[in-house]
Amino acid sequence: MDFLLNLLPYIVNGLSLGLLFALIALGFMLIIGVMELINLAHGSLFALGAYLAMVVISPHVPWLGAFGAWYLGLPIVLRYVLAIVLAPALVAMVGMAIEVCLRPTYGKDPLYGLLLTFGAALVLEESIRVVWGSAEQMLQVPQTLMGPFLLGGMIYSKYQFFASILAILIIALVWLFLERTPYGAIIKAGAHDSEMVRALGINLTRLRLFVFGFGTALAAIAGIIMSPIWGLRPHVGVDAVIPAFLIITLGGVGSFFGAVIAGILVGLAVGITAGFASEWSLLSMYLLLIAVVTFRTRGLFGKKSVLEG
């Protein structure tokens, strides 16, 4: 019994981390499913979302003058909500610009798309360094979300619970959008058979533009939620894109619930392993991937992947 009680905080941490991993992976999964493209800029867009949110919450721009002083006088909760709305919208616009640049690569060797998104990732990361510097930054959050609280004789982080609940809410909203709206049906159809979608008269170019923007907006939201936990630095996107790719592979390309369940499994593996051997915590997710794909090469819920042709 004592063993389970001691293990409980690590399980809670793992579940929280897993939900956030799933949120990071969902945008990655949508872009792969519809566009048959591995977006290597996903991590940099994750970081960009957090940096833009930092500016929306605490703008320190002299030319804003009296408006800047008035804006900073608004409640931090209101500015935080504005950041969650505005920063992903701005990142979606950047993502759409990248998609426009990708259009000449469609129908050609997938390596061209990989190289272009890799180049975009480098440009975004260096742009972050130029604008905000290389030093680690801090995303301000409402004070009510900070600090510990006591539950069942254990101390937990308020923000960690808030981040988990927000991740669950966003995952549920994405699921409702994909499953209960006509636009979601078109996205799912595009992931299954893009040529059939084109034959039905749906503008595939517009669909790809929307999906890329939507996927990158999800990356930005994940960056805003994760940055108070991971910290904020120009190369933080690398910490996001590797687990996202691993989760998509583990859950199965194109599977919504595969991404969510795989994200939770990865989070639990990292969280529980940290309780016994912290130096093995990150390695545990790679061992989990190896164990699964040894028996299911297309992942837990994967069918024939769009990347298999």
Per-residue pLDDT of the chain (309 residues; tens, 9 = 90+): 555 666 777 788 888 888 888 988 888 888 887 777 888 899 999 999 999 999 999 877 666 667 777 777 888 899 999 999 999 999 999 999 999 999 898 878 888 988 999 999 999 999 999 999 888 888 888 888 888 877 666 777 888 889 899 999 999 999 998 888 888 877 777 666 666 667 767 777 888 889 899 999 999 999 999 888 888 888 888 888 888 888 888 988 778 888 899 999 998 888 888 877 777 878 888 888 888 888 887 788 876 544 444
What are the sequence ranges of the domains in the chain? 2-134+157-308
Please report the pLDDT score of residue 91 as a whole number.
96
Please report the pLDDT score of residue 4 as a whole number.
60
Asked whether 95 and 217 are in contact (CB, 8 A), the reply is: yes
Please report the pLDDT score of residue 307 as a whole number.
42
Please report the pLDDT score of residue 63 as a whole number.
61
CATH topology of domain 2-134+157-308: ABC transporter involved in vitamin B12 uptake, BtuC (1.10.3470)
With CA atoms as reference, report the closest residue to 263 among 124, 154, 170, 133.
Answer: 170
Please report the pLDDT score of residue 121 as a whole number.
93
